[in-house]
Amino acid sequence: MKNEDSVIKLSIIIPYYNQKENIRKLIKVLDKQMTKEVEVIIVNDGTDDDFKDIEYPTNRFIVCNLEENSGGASIPRNKGLDIAEGKYIAFIDSDDMVSEDYIPTILHKTLKEWDYCYISWKGKSNTIIIENEPPKWNCCVWNCIYKKDIIGNERFNPKLK
């Protein structure tokens, strides 16, 4: 059993396919925010680019490789869920970017118990607003944080792209 100092509160799962320049930028932004409470799981979905050239600044970046391209983000996300240790799960696509306060904002929110929260970026200010209710539009997997217990053994349908 892990001691309280090594408990992972947040697992960030990133399916990766042919986005080398974008993921380098994303890794830099995430690395500046990393704490011992966070792990980032990057699942290489059989990419065509030179994925091995990407540098990961800390051991909090976990990289796993799929044998071949799955044709979508479902299988890589499922692989990330299978190995994630965090109490909460976030998904970021490898061509997305997060704000400079993405991780601290989520970790602050974890001080209270909740099952799900929606993250909204308002305008172009890079400000994260955590809302209690999801919007009626634009509800995507990558703009929500989920309690891992709520996800349980549910997984993404690999037939869906």
pTM: 0.85
pLDDT at residue 3 in the model = 47
Please indicate whether residue 5 or residue 146 has the higher confidence score (pLDDT): 146
pLDDT at residue 6 in the model = 65
How far apart CA 3 and CA 110 sit, in angstroms, is: 18
Least confident span in 15-24, 53-62, 90-99, 129-138: 129-138
CA angle 45, 48, 50 (to 5 degrees): 100
b/e burial code for range 25-48 (CB count within 10 A of at least 16 → b): ebbeebeebbeebbbbbbbbbbbe
Rg (C-alpha) for the chain, rounded Å, is 15
Distances from the Cα of 33 to the Cα of 36, 68, 75, 85, angstroms? 10, 31, 27, 18
pLDDT at residue 139 in the model = 59
Average pLDDT over residues 63-74: 87
